[in-house]
Amino acid sequence: MDKILLVEDDHNLGIMICELLESNGHEVKLLRMADKTVKNLLEDKFDLVVMDKLLSGMDGTSICAEIRKTDTISQTPILMMSALNGARKICIDAGATDFIYKPFDIKDLFAIVKETIGKGKVRND
């Protein structure tokens, strides 16, 4: 079972995405405090980080860049999401492994989560 760290500060959206991922066979930890992302990754092993670009008081791309600069977790796959026009390039440039625009179709979310986790497994082998 793949373990996912979901970083989403929107209460309802976080619960919805968490439940969707769990129903698709993933173990999910929902994190609402974006500034705790790196700490959580250093304390526990995750196969994927799913993170919103816009978080309360923070930009997810800053967290993404920090993860990429932290040796022991730098290879962790990161799937970023946003509804902002042009956000894909910004997130990929910050180090995201992949990106999905909001709103997204559930099947698309499942497919990109699977694909992004797969990219991490290839990278870590």
The full set of domains in the chain, from first to last, is 3-117 (3.40.50.2300)
Pick the closest to residue 95 from 36, 53, 33, 43 (CA basis): 53
Q: What is the pLDDT of residue 121?
A: 79
Q: What is the pLDDT of residue 120?
A: 86
Give the rounded percent of residues in the chain with a pLDDT score beyond 90: 92
| 124: confidence class by pLDDT, cuts 50, 70, 90 | low
Read off the pLDDT of residues 17-49 as tens digits, 9 standing for 90 and up: 999 999 999 999 999 999 999 999 999 999 999
Helix, strand, or coil here: 125? coil
| 57: confidence class by pLDDT, cuts 50, 70, 90 | confident
Q: Which amino acid is at 28?
A: V
First to last CA, the chain: 18
